[in-house]
Amino acid sequence: MTAKILSLNVNGRDETILCDGLTTLQEVLRDQLGLLTSVKDGCTQGGCGSCSVLVDGELWLSCLAPVAALAGRAVMTLEGLKQSAGIAAIQQSFIDNSAAQCGFCTPGMILTVKALLDANPEPSHDEILEALSGNLCRCTGYLPIVEAVKDAAARLSGGADAARASEGREG
């Protein structure tokens, strides 16, 4: 297979990537670009959601995405989203609702929730379950995560002031 050079915007920085036709976005993020390890390697076949990233704002499974098809697109991992709107409120909701135990699924969960709330700021219970259906969690039993999503939605729809207030809340 022929190696190929392409440019990709990762977390706001233009990166030059060396890849072949089968190199996945997950491999590039974890191995080539300096340990973006919020992108987990749970199953490498799209079955667990732990490798989720945003590509131009859309939720993608990086383990199934051939990076060669992504030239010129903007990829965000949880590392790059630290300062972005809503992430701190989602993270705080996960903390306050004890929605993480071992933490392996958590980055993928948080990106899934970010993509859900960006598209649908007031999701119903069933819409939350559907959004989480591609993300496996082995510890929490999901109920705290569902609560965290509802909590995050409430914080964010309460406006920027409410979100800031809840983000500043002591844990």
Q: Cα–Cα distance between 53 and 169 in angstroms, integer?
A: 28
CA nearest neighbour of 75 among 51, 93, 91: 51
CA nearest neighbour of 21 among 1, 48, 49: 1
In angstroms, give the least distance from the CB of 39 to other proteins: 17
In angstroms, give the least distance from the CB of 99 to other proteins: 9
- Which segment (6-14, 42-50, 81-89, 161-169) binds other proteins by CB under 8 A? 42-50
Among 56, 130, 160, 164, binds other proteins (CB under 8 A): 130
Q: Cα–Cα distance between 43 and 52 in angstroms, integer?
A: 12
Among 19, 111, 115, 128, binds other proteins (CB under 8 A): 128
Counting contacts by CB under 8 A, is residue 61 touching other proteins?
A: no
Which stretch of DSSP H or E encloses residue 124? Answer: none
Q: Detail the DSSP E strand segments found in 20-108.
A: 52-55, 58-61, 74-76
x-or-dash string of contact with other proteins, 82-101, rule CB under 8 A: ----------------x-xx
User: Which residues 6+ apart lie within 8 Å of 16 measured at CB?
Assistant: 5, 6, 7
Nearer to other proteins, 11 or 91 (CB): 91
Per CB under 8 A, residues contacting other proteins are 42-43, 45, 47-48, 98, 100-103, 128-130, 132-133, 135-146
